[in-house]
Structure 1
Amino acid sequence: MSSFVFTKIVVDDLDAQASFYAAVFGQVVRHRFSGGEGLRAFEEIVMGSAAGDGPSLLLIHYADGATPHPGEAVLGFTVADVEETACAARAAGGTVRSEPRSMPAGGMKVAELADPEGHLLEIVQHL
């Protein structure tokens, strides 16, 4: 049996990105470590929910500075209030790519965001 446990994104500014995910989504740092050698040396932060449940978000920065273009993945978060989270994202340096909108057929409200480095995020509020 298998289960989904983490998503990892490559970032330019490890600390700034960790601050964004903490401020907007309440993620907390669980571990911070480094490894590798030469140009593939890296530093990584493992984040997760304050409750300690669910999958982890891993942020990694490589010493060679190589990062894929944002858009390589879309991270999805359930939130209590889509409008409030969109405002928090703006305040933390992110952008709102599509304003919050209701999707009554799906019983949800959604919005699309980007973090300060342009990684795509989708937020969902269950109605």
Structure 2
Amino acid sequence: MFTKIVVEDLDAQSAFYANVLGLEPKHRFSGGAGDAAFEEIVMGDGPSLLLLHYPHREPPRRGGTVLGFAVADVDQVVRAAEHAGGAVRSEPKTLAQPAIRVAELADPEGHLLEIIQHMGEETDV
């Protein structure tokens, strides 16, 4: 399984997701020609995040998709996102049902992220 988002600045977005969520770039490739030309970076192992850039197309409207990530420490990830150029859309809060801690972020290009921490259990980033 993977999630793919179209980005404007492939290198900056790759650095953001590596610094904030620990997703390491695994593969980088390009192809196509003209309007179909693309560059892509595969981030992480297993379920992956793919960052896709079309150098000859207008960037898509931002905010149409929400990327969800289960993390070990929501507050730590929020601090890392702010440090890496992201924005906090909703401060971390704890919900009783289900027992989670949650925050909403935006990456430097405005893509929305929902970060959750399951209370009482550790979850890998």
The TM-score, its normalising length taken from structure 2, stands at: 0.92
Of the three residues 4, 7, 25, the one matched with 1:8 is 4
SS across alignment from 1:68? coil
Identity of aligned residues (%): 62
1:91 aligns with 2:87: no
Structure 2 residue runs without a partner (length 5+):
120-125
Of the three residues 87, 90, 105, the one matched with 1:113 is 105
Structure 1 residue runs without a partner (length 5+):
none
The TM-score, its normalising length taken from structure 1, stands at: 0.91
Q: Which residue number in structure 2 is paired with residue 74 of structure 1?
A: 66
Letter in 2 for 1:116: P
After superposition, the CA RMSD in angstroms is 0.8
Q: Which residue number in structure 2 is paired with residue 24 of structure 1?
A: 20
Deviation for aligned residue 1:19: 0.2
- How far apart, in 1, do the equivalents of 2:49 and 2:58 lie? 19
Letter in 2 for 1:108: I
- How far apart, in 1, do the equivalents of 2:57 and 2:51 lie? 13
SS across alignment from 1:106? coil
- How far apart, in 2, do the equivalents of 1:105 and 1:22 lie? 31
Q: Which residue number in structure 1 is paired with residue 32 of structure 2?
A: 36
SS across alignment from 1:16? helix
- How far apart, in 2, do the equivalents of 1:63 and 1:92 lie? 24
SS across alignment from 1:88? helix
Letter in 2 for 1:26: G
